[in-house]
Chains A and B, each alone.
Chain A
Amino acid sequence: MTHVLVIQIILIAVIVFAAFVIVVPGRGARGQAIRTIVILLGVIAGIVAVIFPDLTTKVANLIGVGRGVDLILYGLIVFFIGFWITSNIHSRRRDRQLTILARRFAILETQLAEARRGARDADGGEPADRSASDRPASDRRADESRA
């Protein structure tokens, strides 16, 4: 019973710690350093576990987990959850930046076309036929697919 309790406490602590590592560091030098250290520790732990296969089971027994593989599985789950949350947040942030970029691009493109037409009209010449070349490529594609 007490063994189960120990692993629960450890798992919860690790999850909370992982949450802090994930949320607090941000992009600064400190965040990057923490991430590097965590990765290094993971690599070292992995190498040690390969060299001394029994070690994981001993550590597991010490904290109340039956087998070494279970301990590694727990670690993997914690890692996976943390990874999923961070990548989700990052991808949403990137989506938003991409949206801003695409919206600015769309408006600029339209303004450019308008300015060009304005200049053509000001020339007084017969306005060029609505040639495909000065319309957005996406439209041309749309037209072609309809044709």
Chain B
Amino acid sequence: MNDHLPDGGAPTSPPALSPETALSPEDAALVRRTWLVVPLFNEGPVIREVMERARETFPNIVCVDDGSRDGSAAEARLAGVHVVVHPFNLGQGAALRTGLDYALLQEGADFFVTFDADGQHRTEDALAMVRRLDAEPLDLVVGSRFLDGRTKPGLLKKIVLKAAVVFQNLTSGVKLTDAHNGLRALNRRAADEIAITQNRMAHASEIVNEIGEKQLRYAEEPVFIEYTDYSRAKGQSLWNSVNILSDLFFEKGVRH
């Protein structure tokens, strides 16, 4: 039935290798209730492979193409995931919100995982986070690179990330060890309530503030970030921390 490639992006059946067979029945039931939300911007060289690997665990994936110019959306469709295309570049925060909105509209969607398109997140970690959402009274589970020693960021990156954590703890009252981790698992309440008005990179800080403001029940899960040469080359420049602070500052001005 689905030998043609979807134009809207939606797969109607899992790929031939039937990934769910590798999962326990409990996990298989869990991933069917889960949607992966993947902001996508100019990841053409890797997105198909990353999505094909992710689909081995998660059957429901929506990629939000944020005005890529390298055919990323077409590549993602080849992997058989749902693709929503922004008419022009709106920023990663907007892409996340679009993906969550789209996934919230899907039948039977109970859990939502924000997942990076460049292959630095692992589906094992995502699955572990969803299991916790299902088993514990939590609204969201946030990944952290610093709960164990597996991830090895550079020294300068480590310092900046730590500084962001201290600033974040002070301003939001939410105690997280890794404020800018893109791997998060949300239940319906969290996915529905977290507002993301920051289009640019400051959305990560905004999400943490929202956790505090909406009094969401949160926990951290140790995750492993694979800093490949590809992700390192694309990675956020440290200069961006200046932009993030300026965005957050101006946000206050707009709101009041």
Contacts and interface: CB of A to CB of B under 8 A. Distances in A.
Interface of A: 88-89, 92-93, 95-96, 99, 102-103, 105-107, 109-114, 116-117, 121, 127, 129-130, 134-136, 138-139, 142-143, 145-146
Contacts of B5: 130
Interface string B142-164: 00000000000000000000000
B39 interface: no
Given A113-B9, A121-B1, A143 B74 contact: yes
Contact of B4 (A92, A93, A127): A127
B88 A102 contact: yes
A114 B10 contact: yes
B8 A117 contact: yes
A48 B180 CA distance: 58
A88 B250 contact: yes
9 contacts: A103-B90, A106-B86, A107-B98, A107-B102, A113-B7, A113-B8, A117-B8, A145-B69, A146-B71
Given A106-B85, A110-B83, A96 B197 contact: yes
Contacts of A136: 85
Interface in B67-117: 67-74, 82-88, 90, 94, 97-98, 101-102, 105
* Secondary structure class of chain B's binding surface, majority of residues: loop
A110 B8 contact: yes
B8 A138 contact: no
A105 B68 CA distance: 17
A146 to B, nearest CB: 5
Nearest to B254: A92
Interface in B53-77: 64, 67-74
Given A99-B199, A117-B10, A105 B74 contact: no
Given A110-B84, A139-B73, A145-B71, A102 B90 contact: yes
Interface residues of B, number: 37
Contacts of B10: 114, 117
Contacts of A109: 84-85
A80 B69 CA distance: 37
A103 B20 CA distance: 32
B199 A116 contact: no
A110 B85 contact: yes
A110 B199 contact: no
B253 A134 contact: no
A123 B16 CA distance: 25
B6 interface: yes
Given A92-B250, A107-B98, A121-B1, A130 B7 contact: yes
B94 A134 contact: no
A142 B101 contact: no
B8 A114 contact: yes
Contacts of A143: 71, 74
Given A114-B8, A121-B1, A139 B74 contact: yes
B87 A142 contact: no
Chain A CB count within 10 A is highest, among B1, B9, B74, B85, for: B85
B65 to A, nearest CB: 8
A145 B64 CA distance: 20
A68 B105 CA distance: 64
B74 A142 contact: yes
A111 B102 CA distance: 9
Interface string B230-256: 000000000000000000001001100
